[in-house]
């Protein structure tokens, strides 16, 4: 198959970025603005047509935010910011020929929209993020919903609204597990989703769904295999979060594993079964399967590409990885960098410097990670944070800092002026918009 030209000017250094998540989109935007097809030809490849900041997907799932509200359309964004967007799923690479293989894309009726293509590169950056890891748990893939994409979050939201409508309209008594939601995994996504669901399900019930006692019958349970919730965050923050969730009536079960997910609920261990109409899988992550054995590149047990301190993939000077799909253990450290939004943001910034160095014939600079702390926001009920230097914050201050992380991403993607105008517009529109998405 012939190679698809990336630019009419063949003298340009070809940068192909695979994955339009936070890191990939920020990198493409930064390079496009800086070079604008002068020294670089920048191509972003993603199988989706829009981008939404992944840490907000739990709000989409709960109905607190519409998936289309904050979405970035790659085609329009690429045109404005000096890079090219190619829709499609990358299925392999040829490192010797420096080529990327992109699968064809199809519409909802199965008709081919874009044929398979081959893209050439001089620098390849893998930024495909991560997906949920069900660890092979029986029935999890079939009966539980993960929150890896906007489509999954929208599907869960519709299922949740339908569950409330069904319960309100039925004549017979509610069955065991009806209006019960189990969240498997007590990381940041799991606990934040629990708080959002507590708020949104009661908000839905307040819209004239008065045939049953939703306050008494709605039940949310978090299941965590480890000894406590938020295992990656400071213990003091985890305790404060647990106290608030328990006060809201959220049940927390730690130290027990899910052994099976069925249509009616989840099996815990050998003897305990929790009936539940809704099951969300938020326990653990892994990089996409196609990275495993990607033309001989070295990966770890969860498919992440092994990279050195410059973010270069081990064994290839022209391939790099950033974000959740990169296993980066910095000198003097024992563990890989955490899969957080701030990691992807910092690595995108560093990767731009690496590419500038490559253009100039200089050695790639070493990456240095700076941990700015951790934050967790529980809907309107509270927020907790531990910032750089051990500074503890909570309440309104923590919520404002939490929101500022999203604004930082928007600023990197859209620039300061548009982000400011959009924020002002959102404050106005919010007053006229329903508090919860009901369709």
- Domains in the chain, CATH or no CATH each: 13-130+287-360 (3.50.50.60), 140-283 (3.50.50.60), 373-430 (no CATH)
Q: Read out DSSP for 208-232?
A: T--SS-HHHH-EEEEEESSSSSSTT
If you count them, how many residues does the chain have? 439
Q: Read out DSSP for 251-265?
A: EEEES--EEEEETTE
pLDDT of residue 15: 97
Number of Cβ within a 10 Å radius of residue 253: 16
Residue 422 has pLDDT above 80, yes or no: no
Each residue of 294-305: pLDDT tens digit?
A: 999 999 999 999
The structure tokens 């990767």 sit at 351
Considering just the CA atoms, what is the radius of gyration of the chain in Å? 23
Residue 390 has pLDDT above 90, yes or no: no
322 conformational bin, left if phi > 0, alpha if psi -120 to 50, beta if neither: beta
Q: Which secondary structure element, helix H or strand E, spans residue 145, and what is its range?
A: strand 145-146
Nearest-angstrom CA–CA distance, 52 and 74:
11
Nearest-angstrom CA–CA distance, 235 and 220:
22
Residue 342 has pLDDT above 80, yes or no: yes
Residue 214 has pLDDT above 80, yes or no: no
User: Considering the entire predicted model, what is its pTM?
Assistant: 0.91
Q: Which secondary structure element, helix H or strand E, spans residue 351, and what is its range?
A: helix 341-360
- Do the beta carbons of residue 194 and residue 235 sit within 8 Å? no
Each residue of 62-78: pLDDT tens digit?
A: 888 887 777 899 999 99
Residue 368 phi, psi dihedral angles, 5° rounding: -125, 120
Residue 79 has pLDDT above 80, yes or no: yes
């Amino acid at each position: 198959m012939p190679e698809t030209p990336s630019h009419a000017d063949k003298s340009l250094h070809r940068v192909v970025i695979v994955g339009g998540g936070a890191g990939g989109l920020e990198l493409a935007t930064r390079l496009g603005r800086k070079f604008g097809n002068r020294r670089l030809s920048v191509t972003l490849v993603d199988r989706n047509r829009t981008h939404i900041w992944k840490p907000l997907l739990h709000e989409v799932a709960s109905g607190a935010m519409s998936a289309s509200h904050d979405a970035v359309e790659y085609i329009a964004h690429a045109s404005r910011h000096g890079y090219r967007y190619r829709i499609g799923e990358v299925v392999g690479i040829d490192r010797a020929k420096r080529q990327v293989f992109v699968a064809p894309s199809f519409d909802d009726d199965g008709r081919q929209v874009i044929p398979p293509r081959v893209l050439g590169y001089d620098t390849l950056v893998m930024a495909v993020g991560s997906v949920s890891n069900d660890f092979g748990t029986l029935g999890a893939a079939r009966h539980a919903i993960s929150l890896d994409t906007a489509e999954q979050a929208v599907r869960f939201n519709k299922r949740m609204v339908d569950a409330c409508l069904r319960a309100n309209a039925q004549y017979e008594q509610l069955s065991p597990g009806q209006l019960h939601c189990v969240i498997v995994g007590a990381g940041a996504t799991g606990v934040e989703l629990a708080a959002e669901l507590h708020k949104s399900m009661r908000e839905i019930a307040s819209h004239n769904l008065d045939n049953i006692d939703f306050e008494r019958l709605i039940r949310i349970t978090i299941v965590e295999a480890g000894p406590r919730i938020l295992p990656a965050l400071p213990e003091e923050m985890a305790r404060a979060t647990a106290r608030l969730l328990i006060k809201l009536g959220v049940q927390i079960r730690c130290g027990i594993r899910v052994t099976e997910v069925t249509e009616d609920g989840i099996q815990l261990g050998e003897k305990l079964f929790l009936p539940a109409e809704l099951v969300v899988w938020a326990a653990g992550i892994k990089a996409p399967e196609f990275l495993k054995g990607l033309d001989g590149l070295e990966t770890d047990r969860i498919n992440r590409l092994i990279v050195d301190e410059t973010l270069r993939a081990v064994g290839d000077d022209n391939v790099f990885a950033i974000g959740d799909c990169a296993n980066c253990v910095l000198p003097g450290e024992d563990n890989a960098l955490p899969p957080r939004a701030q990691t992807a943001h910092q690595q995108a910034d560093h990767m731009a410097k690496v590419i500038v160095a490559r253009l100039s014939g200089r050695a790639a600079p070493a990456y240095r990670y700076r941990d700015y702390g951790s934050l967790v926001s529980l809907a309107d009920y509270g927020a907790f944070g531990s910032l750089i230097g051990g500074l503890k914050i909570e309440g309104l201050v923590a919520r404002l800092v939490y929101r500022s992380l999203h604004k930082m991403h928007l600023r990197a993607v859209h620039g300061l002026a548009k982000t400011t105008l959009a924020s002002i517009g959102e404050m106005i529109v919010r007053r006229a918009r329903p508090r919860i998405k009901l369709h």
